[in-house]
Amino acid sequence: MRTIKLGKSDLQVPTIAVGCMRINRLGKPEAEHFVHAALDAGANYFDHADVYADGACEERFADAIHMNDTVREKIFLQSKCGIRKGSYDFSKKHILEAVDGSLERLKTDYLDVLLLHRPDALMEPEEVAEAFDQLYETGKVHHFGVSNQKPMQIQLLQKYIKQPLLADQLQLSITNANMITQGLHVNMLDDPAEDRDGSVLDFCRLNDITIQPWSPFQYGFFGGVFLNNEKFPELNAKIDEIAARYQVSNTTITMAWLLRHPAKMQPVTGTMNEEHLKDCIKATGIRLTHEEWYEIYLAAGNDLP
């Protein structure tokens, strides 16, 4: 497994992160098999959130991996907090309680990375800073980041907190590529030129913040998977053509498309299928050409000015 540096930290982490949002759907034996298959393949960075199945995913993961001190030293654990039923909450009280809950469910004393899960309109950055300081000083969280935030929100938060924000988890796929598209349609009057995220892609690159694309195989907002989907015949034909050229699966080429971008992203998979995960990991060994990358981009219905 190829590794990248996570943000401004000294952490060398796998290029592919294993998303655990659906692990509660697996029985304990299946979950054990999946988690250990991931470890065998070098995928030891696991992404969680307290809101995933109301914490059941964190519990199932800890049981599946047989969490203990020896196991803990061999993995990276990332979790997210801030989403509550009907609201978002970045208050100091909620952050501290949420982390304690995740640690208990994950059967560990610390998180390698904590992300704030989506923006909270009522965020008071001074409170977040106090929470982060307490978590860092007690050793409960070693590093911090955000999810689904744009540059000004990150800058506002970073003004108050001491710890560098290492990652921003954002939705990105071949069919959900606005952060790339608006950068290609500069100075144009068409819809793709609209900047909906404050040029977050360039901002993260300028500030050494690792983008973690979530739902790399989805179209829309959880609209479904675009691979082998009759709604995307041209895109699938092009991906299949290039996959045959490299003698890999369409899953591998789709992931390779994201990894080809020079931003050095760390995509978060959502699959609970061992073979699909292995296909994602194979993408770390493939470098698409300029022509292949743009051919896939255009086949998804994107255009160039």
Q: Over pLDDT 90: what percentage of the chain?
A: 97
Residue carrying structure tokens 């610390």? 110
With a CB cutoff of 8 Å and minimum separation 6, the contacts of 47 are 17, 18, 19, 20, 78, 79, 80, 169, 212, 268
Q: What is the pLDDT of residues 106-132, one digit of tens each?
A: 999 999 999 999 999 999 999 999 999
Residue range 124-145: mean pLDDT, rounded: 98
Identify the pLDDT of residue 264. Answer: 97
For the whole model, what pTM was predicted? 0.97
Residue 221 is predicted with a pLDDT of 82
Can you tell me the mean pLDDT for 60-85? 97
Q: 154 and 203 in contact (C-beta within 8 Å)?
A: yes
pLDDT band at 220 (very low <50, low <70, confident <90, very high): confident
Task: Write the pLDDT tens digit of every residue in 245-255.
Answer: 999 999 999 99
52 in catalytic set: yes
- Say which of 52, 88, 219, 297 is annotated catalytic: 52
Name the architecture of domain 3-230+263-287: Alpha-Beta Barrel (3.20)
Q: What is the mean pLDDT of residues 182-187?
A: 94
The answer on pLDDT for 62 being more than 90 is: yes
